[in-house]
Amino acid sequence: MAVQLRDRGQAAHPWLGIEGQAEIIPERWVRLFGLPVDRGVLVTGLVPGGPAQRGGVRPWDLIVAVDGQAVATPSALRRALTGKGRAVSVRVLRGGEPLELRVPVAERPRVGA
């Protein structure tokens, strides 16, 4: 990040174009449906045409890992994206089924520059 500040005058922040919230799945549902995890980031909204939507992420997907690193909160998701390349492997639960999606990563747009 220091190199980015020196070279560009600002730091790049990775961005998927989602709105999400931390979600904990009740233990009885985890057992009932045989889910592999009990927490993640629930996608509550997508930026139209944004990286996550282009990569196949849908509203109500539960993002549980990025490049194999578990994520349970939006801030953990942001940290997991830091330093990654132009695309990441995103594991989601959709309807209780795990899916691996290849999702592009973009730089977060600047607001009010």
Report if residue 66 sits inside a domain.
Answer: yes
Number of domains in the chain: 1
pLDDT at 112: 62
SS3 39: strand
Mean pLDDT within 102-112 = 86
Find the CATH number of the domain harbouring 96: 2.30.42.10
- Burial of 14: CB neighbours in 10 Å, binned 0-12, 13-18, 19+: buried
Domain containing residue 95: 14-107
Run of H or E including 29: helix 27-33
Q: List pLDDT tens digits, range 77-93.
A: 999 999 888 999 999 99
pLDDT at 1: 46
Q: Which of 9-23, 38-52, 93-107 has the lowest mean pLDDT?
A: 9-23
Report if residue 4 sits inside a domain.
Answer: no
Mean pLDDT within 13-24 = 94
Report if residue 85 sits inside a domain.
Answer: yes
Report if residue 97 sits inside a domain.
Answer: yes
